[in-house]
Structure 1
C-alpha cells in the first residue's frame, strides 16, 4: 500500500516532538505531567449512542498472520439508544490501551502512564436500543491502526440515526483485546508487496464475514463467540438492505475492494487512502472502478495529481462520485488525531505547530465537524434517498473543504 503510515508511527513522531521540547533528558521525561484528559466532540444528532463489542470467530478461515489459529476479529457496534441508559464506554479497553501506551512509550523513552487511552467516549455500554429499521455503516481503519481512531466520526453518524460497525483487523492493528483478556498485537514485520496483498485480501474477508454475522444478528441470532447478552432490540434495528462503508487510508482502500467483491455495500467513502499495493501495482478497484456511489476525500498534498492509483480509479469509475479536499489538513486529519493531538499539545504547553505534518494547520474541531457533515450527507443521499444540497457545491459553512469534482 503506497503512502502507508501507521498509528504507532504518527503518535510516536508527534509525541516525540512534544517531549523533546520539554524533556531533553530521560530523567526529566520521568517528570512529565499526568496524562491529558482527552475528550471527543459531543455528537450533534438527536439520538444517544449505545455501544456493544462483538467477538466474532470465523472457523472456516485460518488466520494468515498466525496460521495455527482460526481467524477472529472484534467489532464495535454503535446504535441509537434510549436516553439515560448505560455507562460511558472507554476509548480503548484496558489491555489494548496498555499495549498501545507501552508500545508508544518504548519508542519515546517515557513513562507509559503519560499515555492513557481509556478515557470516556460518548457511547454508552448497556444502553437499550431504540426501535426502527436503520441503515448500517461499516468502518475499516487504516493499516495497522485500531478501530477506535474513527470514534468521533462513528459516534456522530450513530447520533444521526445510523447503526455503525467498526472492525479491528487482528494481528495487523497495534493491539486488539478479546473479552477473555487476550491481547493480540501486530505481527506484520517488513513491508513487502506480498504483505500488502495478504493484508488487503484479509481485510476484505474480515468485512464480508462481519456482514455475514450482522445478518445472523438481524435474524434474531447472537453471533458473539461467547453468546454474551445483546442489547434488546438491536437485531431489529438493522436494515441490511441499506449498507454503506467508509475508512481512512488503508480502510478507504478496503472499502473500495469490498464494494468490488460484495454487492451488499451500496455506497462507500475513501478518506485519503491510496488504491495500490505499490506504485507499480494498482489494486483491482483502481483498474476496474465501481458501479455504485463513492466519495473520495483527500488532504494536504495528496490527490490524484500525485497518486496514480487515484488517477486510474477516476478513469474507470462509472457511477456517482464526489471529490472533496481538505487543503490545510494532512493524512491523519481524517482520524481522531485531528481533535486529540491538539489537546495533548495544549496539556503539555508546547507549540501546536509541531503536529502540523500529522494533522495539518486546519482548525481541528471545525475540520471534524465538516468531515462528519459531508459523510452524513453522502450516506443520507445514497442510503436514505434524501436529497442533499450540501453535495452540490462549496458551502460557506465549511470553508476548509474544497470541491474538486
Structure 2
C-alpha cells in the first residue's frame, strides 16, 4: 500500500460524505489504465475480470417497483459543452456528458425494460468491486430497470416539473435508480448525470468508455489537508458546472421531452457528493427552486470540523433545502450542516433514518442483501435499518418535498415526526 492509500482512513468521513472513498480504493487497487485520452472500446470481458471472477454465478438483483400511477420511460443521450475544455483532461477542447432521462410514459407494450447499466460501464463498475461486492458477484449489465426504453412520453397532463439527480463522487448515474423511477412514476421528468472522468465508467454512444483515471491520479497526488481541500473543491466546481450546463440543455432533450419539461419548476436531489452538488447548484443558480441533500457533508475537509465550508453552508440559501442523513448525522452533530442551518432563516428540514449508513440512500440498500453478502458487509454499508422500509422512507420524503415546492401539494409529512415512518427521526 502506498503512502496515499495509508492516509485514506484519516479522511474517511469526508471522503464518504463526498463519495470519494470508492475512488481512493480504485487508486490503490491496480485497475488497468485506459488508452489516452482515458477511453477504450467496450470489450466483451477483460482479462482481469476473468481472473478475479467470483466463484458463484452472478445474481441479478431486482429493484423495488415504482409505486406511482404512471408507467416509466427512459432514454439516454450525449451532451457536449463546447464552451469549456474538459477540466480533468485539458487536452480535450470540450466537455462531454452522458445523461439519462426518466419520465412518465404512455403504455408501451413491446418496449423492453432498460438495462440498469450499459455493458462497458458495468464492467468498469464490477472491476471496482464496489462496497464489498466481489467481481462477478452481481450482473450489473444484466440487471433491469422498470422503465421502458424509449417509450413515448405521456404529455396529456401538460408540462412537467423536472429534477436533476446526482450520484456520489466515483459512483455511476444509475446508483439512485430506485428513487429516480419512483419520482418519474409520480409525474416528474428526472435527468441523471454521469460526471465524465470521475464516474468509474461512462459509456458513450460510439461504444467507448471513459474511465476515472484522471480523478484517481489526482487523488494519488494529494499530500496534506490543504491539497485535499483543493481537490474536493475542484470536484464540486466541476459538478456544479456540469449540472448548470445540463440545465441549459433542458430545451434540447430528445424524444419530445423538451416540449413537456417545465423549466420554471426545477429541483435537484443527490446522494453524498451529489447532495452537496444539489445544494451548491441551487445556491449558484436561481433556476433550481428546491434541493435535497442525502447525507452529503457541506465542507471540503479531510475531517468534518466546520472549516473550508462550501458557499451554501457559509452563506445559507433562500430556497427550500431538505437534509436527510444517516443515523447520528444531523445539523446538531455535523458542523457544516450546523453552519448552514444557522445561516438559513427560510424553510429547511432535517431528518435522519435510524439504523442507516451512508449507502442506505443508494440502490445498495436493495442490491446488497440480494447479493448474498455477509452480515457485516451489509451492516457496514446500509446499517441495521430494514432495507424495504429504508427505500420506502427515502421515496416518500423526497417525493413529499418536491410535491410541496414544485407542485403546491402539501401532504404534511415534512412537518414533524410521522407515525407512518417511525424509523425516520425529525430533527428540529
TM-score (norm 2): 0.82
Equivalence for 2:272 = 249
Spell out, residue by residue over 1:245-274, the C-alpha distance to the aligned partner (whole angstroms, 9 max, x if none). Answer: 110011111011101110000000100000
Equivalence for 2:15 = 4
Question: Matched residues in 2 for 1:56 and 1:288: separation?
Answer: 32
Equivalence for 1:291 = 318
Residues 303 and 389 from structure 1, CA distance in 2 versus in 1: closer, same or farther, beyond 3 angstroms?
closer
Choose from 120, 128, 150 the match for 2:144. Answer: 120
In the TM superposition, residue 215 of structure 1 has moved relative to its aligned partner by 2.6
In the TM superposition, residue 330 of structure 1 has moved relative to its aligned partner by 0.5
Q: Is 2:194 the counterpart of 1:171?
A: no
Equivalence for 1:327 = 354
Q: The residue matched to 1:366 in structure 2 has which SS?
A: helix
Q: Is the 8 A contact 1:172 1:188 kept in 2?
A: yes
Q: The residue matched to 1:61 in structure 2 has which SS?
A: coil
Worse-superposed segment, 264-273 or 395-404:
395-404
Choose from 212, 229, 235 the match for 1:199. Answer: 235
Worse-superposed segment, 394-403 or 189-198:
189-198
In the TM superposition, residue 161 of structure 1 has moved relative to its aligned partner by 0.5
Q: Is the 8 A contact 2:68 2:182 kept in 1?
A: yes
Q: Is the 8 A contact 1:12 1:104 kept in 2?
A: no
Q: The residue matched to 2:146 in structure 1 has which SS?
A: strand
Choose from 123, 133, 136 the match for 1:98. Answer: 123
Q: Is 2:377 the counterpart of 1:372?
A: no
In the TM superposition, residue 302 of structure 1 has moved relative to its aligned partner by 2.1
Spell out, residue by residue over 1:150-176, the C-alpha distance to the aligned partner (whole angstroms, 9 max, x if none). Answer: 100000000000000111111111111
Q: Is the 8 A contact 1:282 1:309 kept in 2?
A: yes
Spell out, residue by residue over 1:344-375, the C-alpha distance to the aligned partner (whole angstroms, 9 max, x if none). Answer: 12xxxx64343212101101011101110111
Spell out, residue by residue over 1:265-286, the C-alpha distance to the aligned partner (whole angstroms, 9 max, x if none). Answer: 0000100000111143111110
Q: Which runs of 5+ in 2 are unaligned?
A: 1-10, 27-50, 223-227
- Listed as ranges, the matches of 1:146-185 within 5 Å are 146-185=172-211
Q: Is 2:246 the counterpart of 1:210?
A: yes
Q: Is the 8 A contact 1:41 1:152 kept in 2?
A: yes
Choose from 375, 383, 389 the match for 2:406. Answer: 383
Question: Matched residues in 1 for 2:189 and 2:147: separation?
Answer: 12
Q: The residue matched to 2:379 in structure 1 has which SS?
A: helix
Question: Matched residues in 2 for 1:138 and 1:96: separation?
Answer: 21
Spell out, residue by residue over 1:90-122, the C-alpha distance to the aligned partner (whole angstroms, 9 max, x if none). Answer: 1110010011112329x9896x43332111110
RMSD: 2.5
Question: Matched residues in 1 for 2:202 and 2:413: separation?
Answer: 37
Figure out how many residues of one structure are paired with residues of the other and give that number: 374
Q: The residue matched to 1:281 in structure 2 has which SS?
A: coil
Q: Is the 8 A contact 1:8 1:104 kept in 2?
A: no
Residues 167 and 33 from structure 1, CA distance in 2 versus in 1: closer, same or farther, beyond 3 angstroms?
same
Q: Is the 8 A contact 2:172 2:201 kept in 1?
A: yes
Residues 300 and 10 from structure 1, CA distance in 2 versus in 1: closer, same or farther, beyond 3 angstroms?
farther
Residues 62 and 382 from structure 1, CA distance in 2 versus in 1: closer, same or farther, beyond 3 angstroms?
same
Residues 29 and 243 from structure 1, CA distance in 2 versus in 1: closer, same or farther, beyond 3 angstroms?
closer
Question: Matched residues in 2 for 1:395 and 1:303: separation?
Answer: 18
Worse-superposed segment, 177-186 or 190-199:
190-199
TM-score (norm 1): 0.87
